[in-house]
Structure 1
């Protein structure tokens, strides 16, 4: 009788363990399905014939001089701005999220970045950043990841987190998408690879999208704005390239657009992130640049 009880107990234990494993696998599959669904939704937005750009590519395109094919030598903000774009892009695609705020209501900048799904994105830079975040224990904050991915760390043991040649790799992506071309320019002491603009229509469409979001299509409520457009405006400003989109405007519209952008920058990220359907990680990145 005792032997039968032990065998029965062992059978129940094995069934329970099998059930747990099945639940774990099901949960993992659901996360991957959700990530794919988010990607599909992103792909379906807009005209299917349009070239789809990531936030990083859009910010770089705004910063590139059309004929010269390189960003301003005086711009020291775009490097960290592009890393912020990566985090937001991964969050919008359902790959990353912030840890729960807990009972003590941690601030956005104190909460760790958690890998929600490691399903490939199809973009090498995004997948490289995602792998770093997934493999890192204990997790790091948004501010830390921006610094680590930029290589701005004093810890030599963490230098391997740096994503190298980001601007050049993004420019090559835009070349493959038919937006830029590749040339060599001589700068007296050295030769430099440049990427002049070839698809002016796409660049003008991007500039118009930014302009209209704070002028003709202004809704005066960040919760009602398209999240990607809102992120683009805030990160373009943090990368010091936003004024390039407003430069062609008449003075009156330029001033109005910049006034509305300043209004967005003055929003309190903690408050905005607590609103329904807000992306917490996006506002954490904004907080990291505006704190």
Structure 2
């Protein structure tokens, strides 16, 4: 074997090792969104949760679901954290609980997503110092302070649906409800939604890890956020009775974890566990 060939192989091996060992902060948004291993899946957490909640043919979420609005704001914060844009402020000598720590802008580079960039702009302004709970309330407009209504993100579901239409997952239609007409967004890419649901199913069935730290971070976040948005059940409806019971038992295991303890174990996931703590309390 020639010396030149050996050098090339060694260089390629080093490059692969460097790529595998990249920290989350060094990854591009493209690489972070590919952590699931499915490179065709280019949906944000907000889009995935909305897609799980939409009725396929009707093209709208359940009228009885009053959780999804708040849940989508949690998705925004976790997505920004996964992309390395925001974090909780550093611990001081006196340790504080996750829910008591403020959210800080870590990197104000645009994400390319309008909703994420709008939320990031609010957070990086520095005009208000809020915890995760505070930002979820502000972004959803649930605040008693009229001076802070400027932080509300409006028409989030409609804007996410429009994004999914542009990505070829949904289409736009009109449905008459006797007293009014409503714009709906039926699913046209059944394959995309099926793969999304299967990823959630596999995470708590065939790919269930013995150690939660080994679970893909985006998928773990999706399970918690889908539950908080009251759409997780939709992923398990097609399962057999036996698989359904197994899936729900493992989801219950996740829900019984202590977010504070999990956040202390994994500094990279602190904001995710803070969001989970808000919804679980």
Counterpart residue number, 2:87: 97
The structure with the larger Rg is: 1
For 1:277 and 1:97, the matched residues in 2 are separated by 10
Equivalent residues of 1:35, 1:119 under 8 A apart: no
Per-residue deviation, 1:36 = 7.1
Aligned with residue 116 of structure 1, among 90, 96, 106: 106
Whether 2:60 is the aligned partner of 1:70: answer yes
For 1:97 and 1:194, the matched residues in 2 are separated by 35
Whether 2:96 is the aligned partner of 1:106: answer yes
Equivalent residues of 2:34, 2:41 under 8 A apart: no
Per-residue deviation, 1:212 = 0.4
Per-residue deviation, 1:278 = 3.8
For 2:191 and 2:111, the matched residues in 1 are separated by 26
Aligned with residue 226 of structure 2, among 236, 246, 267: 236
Counterpart residue number, 1:20: none
Counterpart residue number, 2:9: none
Aligned counterparts, 1:138-149, within 5 A: 138-149=128-139
TM-score normalised over the length of structure 1 = 0.85
For 2:131 and 2:76, the matched residues in 1 are separated by 14
Per-residue deviation, 1:276 = 4.1
What SS class does the counterpart of residue 274 from structure 1 fall into?
helix
Aligned counterparts, 1:230-269, within 5 A: 230-269=220-259
Aligned counterparts, 1:130-209, within 5 A: 130-209=120-199
What SS class does the counterpart of residue 172 from structure 1 fall into?
helix
Counterpart residue number, 2:276: 286
What SS class does the counterpart of residue 80 from structure 1 fall into?
helix
For 1:286 and 1:59, the matched residues in 2 are separated by 15
Whether 2:87 is the aligned partner of 1:85: answer no
TM-score normalised over the length of structure 2 = 0.88
Cα pair distance change 1:190/1:63, threshold 3 Å: same
Gaps of 5+ in 1: 1-33
Equivalent residues of 1:63, 1:71 under 8 A apart: yes
Where does structure 1 differ by over 2 angstroms across 4 or more consecutive aligned residues? Answer: 34-38, 43-48
RMSD between aligned alpha carbons? 1.4
Deviations 1:142-172 (A, max 9, x none): 0000000001111111111110110000000
What SS class does the counterpart of residue 76 from structure 1 fall into?
coil
Per-residue deviation, 1:274 = 1.4
For 1:140 and 1:198, the matched residues in 2 are separated by 39
Counterpart residue number, 2:14: none
For 1:70 and 1:47, the matched residues in 2 are separated by 26
Query: How many pairs are equivalent?
Result: 257
For 1:267 and 1:43, the matched residues in 2 are separated by 26
Cα pair distance change 1:73/1:43, threshold 3 Å: closer
What SS class does the counterpart of residue 27 from structure 2 fall into?
helix
Equivalent residues of 2:140, 2:152 under 8 A apart: yes
